[in-house]
Amino acid sequence: MGCSLAAGLAPAVYGAPAAYKGRSRASEEYYELRVYTLKNEAQLKLVEDYYQQAAIPALNRLGSNKVGVFRELEPAEISRLYVLIPYKSLADFGKVHEELGKDAAYIKAAAAYLDAPATEPAYERIESSLLKAFAHMPAMSVPEKKARIFELRRYESASESAGRKKIEMFNKAEIDIFKKNGLTPVFFGETIIGDLRPNLTYMITFDDMAGHDKNWKAFGSDPEWKKISSMPEYADAKIVSHITATFLAPAPFSQV
């Protein structure tokens, strides 16, 4: 992927705190968020085996560490598997995908997934988005490895300017208020390619649902949150048009 394309895709950094104003834009990570639609347990096993035995080892060899694989906490009849892949830069995203096709060990280990026949596909479809990390959280934070749940949240906005304002709000204060109240973040990303734009997506984690409820309640009554959320320019009605929350559990081999 050429430098000119990378420059064209990279969004401006909005509302970065003073500590981040001088930071190189290349220092913010990029994330690929894949959502697999699966119709049965056989597909789930095939895709999970692919990541455990082929994709994650190959991605790690190429420098994409901390790959997350997550099942829905309460799957519907058609289940979904969520995969989060970090990249050091937009150029690295292109390089990794190119190098995977040359990795003989990966191709051999991934054969059942890559060569699945049309009559018995490995999955129904993949939805994929490319996100750029926020200036105030430029890299993923991997939580302690123990039993936990994750909440993946997407905030859609009615316009690009409204979406930028919500990112500014997170960079200016909201991420720090999250951390103070136990809403432990894994990543924050602006969707630069994907469905339902403009939107931002982030992931937070909790020990359990009781912790989730307790910490969100603490956040809602935090004086700093009340102050910034009461500012007219940050009113939800102006900058957020729809919120989607999905609860996830990590696959046993997930690196996040």
User: What is the CATH classification number for the domain harbouring 157?
Assistant: 3.30.70.100
**pLDDT exceeds cutoff 60 at 7:** no
| Within a domain: 41 | yes
Instruction: Give domain status of residue 194, yes or no.
Output: yes
Phi first, then psi, for residue 116 (nearest 5°) are -60, 135
Percent of the chain with pLDDT over 90: 84
In a domain, residue 15? The reply is: no
Q: Does residue 3 form part of some domain?
A: no
Count of the separate structural domains present in the chain: 1
Q: What is the pLDDT of residue 1?
A: 35
In a domain, 231, yes or no: yes
Range of the structural domain that residue 74 is part of: 29-250
Please give the residue that has the higher pLDDT: either 187 or 19: 187
User: In the prediction, which pLDDT does 121 show?
Assistant: 97
pLDDT for position 156: 98
What CA–CA distance (Å, rounded) separates 170 from 176? Answer: 8
pLDDT category, 199, cuts 50, 70, 90? very high
| Residue at 88 is within a domain | yes
Is residue 25 predicted with pLDDT exceeding 60? no
Q: Is 151 inside a domain boundary? A: yes
Residue 255 lies in a domain: no
Mean pLDDT of the chain: 90
Q: What is the pTM of this model?
A: 0.87
